[in-house]
Structure 1
Amino acid sequence: MSQPILMTVDDDPAVSRSVARDLRRRYGKDYRVIRADSGADALDALREIKLRGDAVAAILADYRMPHMDGISFLEKAMDLFPNARRALLTAYADTDAAIQAINVVDVDHYLLKPWDPPEEKLYPVIDSLVETWLAVGDKSVEETKLVGHRYSAPSFKVRDFLARNAVPYRWYSVDEDEGGRILQAAGAVETDIPVVVTPDGTVLKQPTGGEIAVAVGLSTRPAQEFYDLVVIGGGPAGLGAAVYGASEGLRTVLVERKATGGQAGTSSRIENYLGFPDGVSGAQLTDRARRQAQKFGAEVLTARDVVGLEVRGSSRVVTFGDGSEIAAHAVILASGVTYRAHEADGIRELTGSGVYYGSAATEAPECKGQHVYIVGGANSAGQAAVFFAQHASEVSLLVRGDSLEKSMSHYLIEQIAAIDNITVRTGTTVVQAHGADHLEAVTLCHSDTTETVETGHLFIFIGAAPRTDWLGEVIQRDHHGFVQTGPDLVTEGRKPAGWPLDRDPYHLESSVPGVFVAGDVRSQSVKRVASAVGEGAMAVTLVHRYLEEQ
């Protein structure tokens, strides 16, 4: 195969020649640089490249081009080369418009013109694009097949697991002819669904997350019995701890119950995270963080449920649901939180069948032309509203309070106000969900007045609770279940009960020496992605300090 391609598209010949020259200067040895003067010409070139079987690593497109702007071009280019990385070239005056437009297309970066010196303003961006493309590749992807019911909580659970763990899969409804053929070929019947068929032909009937993880090649078993550091939880705090722990030479293993990314991993776009002025999806941020941790040597275990923590001398022992154990010098609890259950009648019975907690991005195509209801008034609910507004005909954001200002970031409130098919309904709660095998309607209450509206999609974001019951009496928690650390453990100069050391607990240290806490699961934490990542890094620093004492 010939060299992979870097493509630049700009209607200004001088700019086009300039960017092509700079790209050839740095990447000409390993990549073929081609340029086009319009989106139409670039699409013709991409079709020829596709026919030849060549690979496209990255595409740089000017934002302002006649007939077809950069956003429209990149949308069409994605159909031909979905794995090619994408950047938008824009003048400073168009920055705001470009950032808003980027929400429409999954663009990796935007570049301001001019980019002199390229060593500082161009090459680092291209290096990032190329590195990501090399990690993903442009090879044909072998897909896992999933057969299930359209409205089925078990089927949704498997779809969500595969999507959250970035496993390529194709969904087949059992009600469609192809789904029936796959079931027959797999030697399965309708009562076996959901049925998963891996690319090598392995058939899984009503599989657990652990069984799927093993079958599709996710790591589930630790390579060692003893580590320097065990990180429990794969959200931003846990991934941050894994990156910093492994990069600083600690034998590090991260254990995640479902999928890395946590609640942040389901976010359609995070726009207030430092260093991403055009925003980044939770899935993108998670994928980069996971690869970064593994690059430094951290192990990442998926679909492993931690059910116990025990102190054995200087070791901290973590017990899994199957009874197996791993031990370490230190542990970082970064298990995050889970969405609080909605108590309205019918919600529990219809969860996974039209009622979903979190964004449930796998459901987005099914929302086309539908009226979607979202419950919640914080950032996660707002991000979901913006995301589903791109698919649904109408989105209603149901907010219990009298406004969004107290709970949602200002930038997100402005975005929602500017989207025509989003309606914010304050002072409104869901009191009942209706439906037999799937959601058909919800009853809303506003100022003591109720109404029942038809809908097949209800997404819930009503706050979160920590999943810490498994800690038992080993670790001190507050009355909400969040883990207390540092100064919160010291009362009137007295250390926590059973504390064996002369010193007070470190800032992020729990009531057990050597067990640290980071992110949302920590009592009094700031519920933001940036603070969670920072606490993960800070916890590693305190782990080093603790290890020096041993």
Structure 2
Amino acid sequence: MAADGWSVRPLLLAVESDPRRLGRTETELARSFGPSYRVRGEICASDAVRLLEGAYERGERVALVLVDDRLAASDREAVVATARTRHPEARRCLLVDWGAWSDPDVAELILRGTEIGDLHSYVLRPWTDGDELFHRTVAEIVQDWSRADPRNKREVVVVADKHSGRAFEVSNLLHRNRIPYAFRDRGTEAGQHVLESAEPHVDGEVLVWMPALGGTTLVDPTDADVLAAWGIPTSVEDHWRDVDLLVVGAGPSGLAAAVYGASEGLRTLVVEREAIGGQAGTSALIRNYLGFARGLSGSELAQRGYQQAWMFGARFVLTPSVVALSREGELFRADVSGQGSVVARAVVLACGVAYRRLGVPDVEAFTGHGVYYGASVSAAHALAGLSAAVAGGGNSAGQAVLQLARYCREVHLVVRGPLLADTMSAYLVDAIAGEPVITVHLSSDVTGATGTGRLEQLVLTDRQSGDTKSIGVDGLFVMIGAEPHTDWLPAEVRRDSYGFVLTGIDATEGSADPRHPHETSVPGVFAVGDVRSGSVKRVASAVGEGSVVVTEVHQHLTVPHR
């Protein structure tokens, strides 16, 4: 590829068979995006394919490909396939007429295309000069591309060896907290350029440079160091040690509780031990959340909730954990690791679940050095050109392998069951079948691992025959389910046999003592989201529980305590 291709403006390509329609689309794209992007229109699919191939050969970036729904199916598929394989970061959208939502064939085309990963969404064709809806839609799509493309300039840059496990952990931390960043391999010219600009005083495994913050340079930082440098609080301020509401966890349910608690006048503090968004923050794309037709990433949803709660007055502390909870009269005292204690009038447990471990000693030895539990594969461009594996058969595992397939030369999916369709949604099964770089290993377990200083090979065992085989991988993502993180709670907070917190009538053990639906066996302590026994493990339901529980908190605070 040509080295100077990166300096060329990214391409916005429209492919339409009608010259008049194509002219209007080109004009509207140029009106808003001409200064920063190259706008091209093609009538023939073959010309569009040649343009995309040429951009690939020259190393030029493609941000968006708009494809006319009226193109012949073979032509449309040729353009989309070229864009997908040659420019995996490019956003691919079907261009449709106003009113197309009444056409079942168009709806089926969009649904099928998004399910198998050919399309990201659709865009309504501009029908008038200065069509602001068209401009806004394209702007949102292009911004999404800009944040995902690792070659664009970023506010934060991580420099390390491409096999560094710690570098991936830092990248994952940045991504889950929606901090724009790029990874640079220390051994490349780009990596050396960053090192020269950052001017670190000492050498280290991982360098984090923040040019947007005046060139702040961190060498081998802790998670708290990184977040604090970006301005995210990692310690409890003295004047926030006495609050109305303490929320433990900042997943969707905890964020919703923070938004509604703070907006309704409660002095609200949120303590999160990992990252804003919880397990949902690792999702590359949530397609079925109400109101987001094009879908949104878990990290974006989380950051929107975080900013909304902060605006209403809630405050957050990241990286410390709540390690103990006790009752003192009508108040609760929570011990926060390394931070002392916080006193609250009510507590909402939104601490979610922790990923289950494989329990294979050889594999566990590489944790953080190629083996990752609950790590977001949205930071997968750190594994670009390498080989990766995912252990798990659920939807999270399916999303993970599809995300990794955009960057890795090969991806392995290791599934315990005999059929992928038994545990994974059909649209993900179809998408995986359509990715040539993905190999699915059914009825298999990860039973061993080898490597020198980092993961290099996995041993897989067939559950039916007992046969074993080795595969070369640079990273393993374990997604085999989760269990609640509730061992720090006092015995008075009743849990089921799996450790999930009992609420409502289940928490009373048949007594006549009334309980709010989300209240635990301890009045004033509530549980929402995945940590609650019987909860529906969906983002939307978690948000709903976090919203509703605040009404119950108010009732607890305003009526005589039981």
Q: How would you bin the TM-score normalised by the shorter chain?
A: 0.7 to 0.9
Report what 1:497 is aligned to. none
Letter in 2 for 1:148: A
Report what 1:323 is aligned to. 339
Q: 2:531 aligns with which of 521, 530, 538?
A: 521
**3-state SS in 1 of match to 2:558:** helix
Change (3 A) 1:173 1:130: closer
Whether the 8 Å contact between 2:285 and 2:296 is mirrored in structure 1 is yes
Report what 1:31 is aligned to. none
Determine the C-alpha separation between the residues in 1 that align with 2:230 and 2:471. Answer: 39
Determine the C-alpha separation between the residues in 1 that align with 2:137 and 2:346. Answer: 36
Alignment of 1:52-451 (within 5 A): 61=66, 63-64=68-69, 89-90=95-96, 91=100, 92=103, 93-99=105-111, 101=113, 110-112=122-124, 126=136, 143-175=155-187, 182=195, 185-189=199-203, 192-199=204-211, 200-221=214-235, 224-225=239-240, 226-358=242-374, 360-361=376-377, 364-365=380-381, 367-446=383-462, 447-451=464-468
Letter in 2 for 1:519: G
Report what 1:51 is aligned to. none
Report what 2:484 is aligned to. 466
Determine the C-alpha separation between the residues in 2 that align with 1:395 and 1:462. Answer: 17
Report what 1:488 is aligned to. 506
> What TM-score, normalized by structure 2, do the two folds share?
0.75
Q: How far did residue 520 of structure 1 move?
A: 1.0
1:453 aligns with 2:467: no
Q: How far did residue 515 of structure 1 move?
A: 1.3
Report what 1:532 is aligned to. 542
Change (3 A) 1:250 1:87: farther
> Bigger shift: 385-394 or 433-442?
385-394
Gaps of 5+ in 2: 1-11, 33-37, 52-62
Determine the C-alpha separation between the residues in 2 that align with 1:474 and 1:96. Answer: 53
Letter in 2 for 1:442: L
> Bigger shift: 177-186 or 421-430?
177-186
Q: 1:476 aligns with which of 473, 491, 494?
A: 494
Determine the C-alpha separation between the residues in 1 that align with 2:548 and 2:517. Answer: 9
Letter in 2 for 1:242: A
Determine the C-alpha separation between the residues in 2 that align with 1:516 and 1:124. Answer: 45
Give CA deviations for 1:248-307 in whole Å, capped at 9, x if unaligned: 343333222121111111112223333334433222322333233334443333223222
Determine the C-alpha separation between the residues in 1 that align with 2:325 and 2:295. Answer: 37
Give CA deviations for 1:35-81 in whole Å, capped at 9, x if unaligned: 9865999xx9xxxxxxxxxxxxx9995644879999799999x999x
Change (3 A) 1:326 1:87: farther
Give CA deviations for 1:163-211 in whole Å, capped at 9, x if unaligned: 222223343445557757838931113xx43343443344434322222
Aligned length: 506
Whether the 8 Å contact between 2:324 and 2:489 is mirrored in structure 1 is yes
> Bigger shift: 294-303 or 513-522?
294-303
Determine the C-alpha separation between the residues in 2 that align with 1:368 and 1:171. Answer: 10
Whether the 8 Å contact between 2:405 and 2:438 is mirrored in structure 1 is yes
Q: How far did residue 145 of structure 1 move?
A: 3.9
What's the C-alpha RMSD, in Å, of the aligned pairs?
A: 4.5
Determine the C-alpha separation between the residues in 1 that align with 2:28 and 2:382. Answer: 44
Gaps of 5+ in 1: 1-6, 29-33, 45-57, 495-502
Determine the C-alpha separation between the residues in 2 that align with 1:531 and 1:261. Answer: 14
Determine the C-alpha separation between the residues in 2 that align with 1:240 and 1:168. Answer: 24
**3-state SS in 2 of match to 1:244:** helix
Q: How far did residue 18 of structure 1 move?
A: 8.7
Whether the 8 Å contact between 2:168 and 2:382 is mirrored in structure 1 is no
Determine the C-alpha separation between the residues in 2 that align with 1:362 and 1:218. Answer: 21
Change (3 A) 1:307 1:132: farther
Whether the 8 Å contact between 2:123 and 2:134 is mirrored in structure 1 is no
Change (3 A) 1:16 1:178: closer
> What TM-score, normalized by structure 1, do the two folds share?
0.76
**3-state SS in 2 of match to 1:470:** coil
Determine the C-alpha separation between the residues in 2 that align with 1:483 and 1:155. Answer: 35
Determine the C-alpha separation between the residues in 1 that align with 2:385 and 2:187. Answer: 21
Determine the C-alpha separation between the residues in 1 that align with 2:68 and 2:297. Answer: 21
Determine the C-alpha separation between the residues in 2 that align with 1:474 and 1:124. Answer: 56
Give CA deviations for 1:21-48 in whole Å, capped at 9, x if unaligned: 999xxx99xxxxx99865999xx9xxxx
Whether the 8 Å contact between 2:416 and 2:445 is mirrored in structure 1 is yes
Give CA deviations for 1:298-322 in whole Å, capped at 9, x if unaligned: 3333223222223233323332212
Report what 1:55 is aligned to. none
Letter in 1 for 2:266: L
Whether the 8 Å contact between 1:151 and 1:352 is mirrored in structure 2 is no
**3-state SS in 1 of match to 2:244:** strand
Give CA deviations for 1:471-490 in whole Å, capped at 9, x if unaligned: 24352223322222112222
Q: How far did residue 228 of structure 1 move?
A: 2.9
Whether the 8 Å contact between 2:350 and 2:529 is mirrored in structure 1 is yes
Determine the C-alpha separation between the residues in 2 that align with 1:79 and 1:416. Answer: 15
Change (3 A) 1:10 1:509: same
Report what 2:4 is aligned to. none
Q: How far did residue 152 of structure 1 move?
A: 3.5
> Bigger shift: 383-392 or 9-18?
9-18
Whether the 8 Å contact between 2:162 and 2:383 is mirrored in structure 1 is no
Change (3 A) 1:524 1:115: farther
Change (3 A) 1:247 1:37: farther
Letter in 1 for 2:316: V
Letter in 1 for 2:484: P
Whether the 8 Å contact between 1:520 and 1:532 is mirrored in structure 2 is yes
**3-state SS in 2 of match to 1:290:** helix
Change (3 A) 1:74 1:428: closer
Letter in 2 for 1:389: A
Give CA deviations for 1:204-241 in whole Å, capped at 9, x if unaligned: 34322222211121133456423332221111211222
Q: How far did residue 517 of structure 1 move?
A: 0.7
Whether the 8 Å contact between 1:63 and 1:70 is mirrored in structure 2 is no
Identity rate, percent: 36
Report what 1:54 is aligned to. none
**3-state SS in 1 of match to 2:506:** helix
Determine the C-alpha separation between the residues in 2 that align with 1:36 and 1:132. Answer: 15
Give CA deviations for 1:441-473 in whole Å, capped at 9, x if unaligned: 111111242323232222211111222222243
Change (3 A) 1:318 1:123: farther
Q: How far did residue 525 of structure 1 move?
A: 1.9
Q: How far did residue 87 of structure 1 move?
A: 7.4
Whether the 8 Å contact between 1:246 and 1:293 is mirrored in structure 2 is yes
Change (3 A) 1:477 1:115: farther
Determine the C-alpha separation between the residues in 1 that align with 2:112 and 2:330. Answer: 53
